[in-house]
Homo-oligomer: A and B are copies of this chain.
Amino acid sequence: MNSSDLTIAIVGATGAVGRIALDLLAERDHPVEKIVAMASSRSAGKKLPYKGKELVVVEATPDAFTGADVAFISASSEVSKRLAPEAVSRGALVIDDGSAFRMEDSVPLVVPEVNGADVEWHSGIISIPNCTTTPLVMVLDALRSVAPITAVTVATYQSVTGTGAAADVELLTQSRSVLDSEDVVIEQYPYQIAFNVIPQVDNFLASGYTVEEDKMLNESRKILHEPTLRLAATCVRVPVQVSHSESVTVEFLNRVSVQEAKQAMSDADGLLLVDDPQNNVYPMPLKAAGDDEVHVGRIRDDIAHDNGLSLWLSCDNLRKGAALNALQILDEVLRRDCLKPSKKTAAI
């Protein structure tokens, strides 16, 4: 089957990620036959611009998937859990942006540059990782080609569109309220995000880590096929609209030079070395927003550990962190000719 014959359903088409998925399909002039834009009943009937024409949003019901070859779902976990099986039973491959299926044994969790071959054993659903995990595993995959990784310490600086379009509106609205000395309305987060940082992304577990921090560990292990990887994250929301950034310290079994690390980054698909600090060149969310690559820089010796390196990355959470990764998974699936489920099983 050629991609030009495909019918693609996009669930959550009016959301922050869904809109970028449409932008990317248009930008790339992806030769799909048909796009079905879906959303909740509330958004049904809305029109979305696409290549100079308009797509009319339809309600995401089970029967709406009839005829779809691929369904990209970017909605709540509840929506994914309810609709993904319906799409699969109607013959569609589901590429799911949420956390609903990521850790299920029958569901590949894929970043094509890292573990593209994992798409081959899907059973109808392929998950894409959390938007903080994706750039991190791309960097870790490049680095482990130089030496085995023994420990990873991460602190994140996550933008509000990781939560969704409503959180973006809230950041802007709250910011104006602060500037105008008016009362701030809080709905999307436990506290005001404008001119603040919140060291909580998702709920807390008994361990003291958040679900988001736990995801970064478990998803990284699954994608990298390293079930004993040691990785500790602190996930923090910052008042930025688009792009997540991460301060990362990687410890290795042997010494890795800064030059070796830079070379590994340069050689890796999907990473862009943005690393000339003497000229104030380093990754930043404002620079990474709108780019497909993960920006990586500030690579330097970790002076707290003998075999460590520290670095800084920024990545557009809506593109490589979500919609772009989904489309790249589709490309990988088509290239490997495995749109339909095979009898293969995971080989971790």
Q: A-side interface residues toward B, CB under 8 Å?
A: 151-153, 155, 157, 171-172, 175-176, 179, 190-192, 195-200, 204, 207-210, 217, 230-232, 234, 236, 238-241, 245, 247, 249, 258, 277-278, 280, 282-286, 297-305, 308, 310, 312
B176, B247, B277, B283: the one within 8 Å of A204 (CB): B277
- CB atoms of A204 and B286 under 8 A apart: no
Rounded to whole angstroms, the CA-CA distance of A85 and B228 in the bound complex is: 58
Q: List 20 A-B contacts (CB under 8 A).
A: A152-B304, A153-B153, A153-B302, A155-B247, A172-B179, A176-B176, A190-B280, A191-B286, A196-B284, A196-B285, A197-B245, A199-B245, A199-B312, A200-B282, A217-B303, A232-B304, A232-B305, A234-B247, A234-B312, A239-B239
Chain B residues within an 8 Å CB radius of A284? 191, 196-199
A176 neighbours in B (Cβ, 8 Å) = 176, 179
> Is the pair B195, A283 in contact by a Cβ cutoff of 8 Å?
no
- Are A286's CB and B232's CB within 8 A? no
Whether A208 pairs with B240 at a CB distance below 8 angstroms is no
> A298 with B234: in contact, given A176-B179, A200-B277, A303-B217 (CB under 8 Å)?
yes
A240 and B198 CA atoms in complex are apart in Å by 11
Q: Which of A210, A283, A301, A310 has the most CB of B within 10 A?
A: A310
Q: Chain B residues near A210 (CB, 8 Å)?
A: 277
Judge whether A282 and B208 touch: CB under 8 Å: no
**Known interface pairs A153-B302, A196-B240, A232-B304; 14 further A-B residue pairs with C-beta atoms within 8 A, sorted by A's residue number:** A155-B155, A157-B197, A190-B280, A191-B284, A192-B286, A200-B280, A208-B277, A208-B298, A208-B301, A210-B277, A230-B303, A232-B249, A232-B302, A232-B305
Residues in chain B near residue A191, CB distance under 8 A: 280, 284, 286
The DSSP consensus for interface residues of chain A is: mixed
Min distance, Cβ A154 to any Cβ of chain B, angstroms: 9
- Chain B: which residue is nearest A239 at the CB level? B239
- Is there contact, CB below 8 Å, between B300 and A208? yes
User: Which one, B232, B305, B310, contacts A310 given CB within 8 A?
Assistant: B232
Given A208-B299, A280-B190, A197 and B285 contact (CB-CB distance below 8 Å)? yes
Q: Ordered nearest first, which 5 A-B pairs have the shortest CB separation?
A: A208-B300, A155-B155, A232-B304, A155-B247, A204-B277
B contact residues around A310 at 8 Å (CB): 232, 234
Contacts of A301 in B (CB 8 A): 207-208
Q: Once the chains are docked, how many angstroms separate the CA of A302 from the CA of B282? A: 28
- Is there an interface contact between A283 and B199, defined as CB atoms closer than 8 Å? yes
A157 x B236 contact (CB < 8 A)? yes
Question: Whole-angstrom distance between the alpha carbons of A302 and B232 in the complex?
Answer: 6
Selected from B197, B236, B239, B303, the residue in CB contact (under 8 A) with A195 is B239
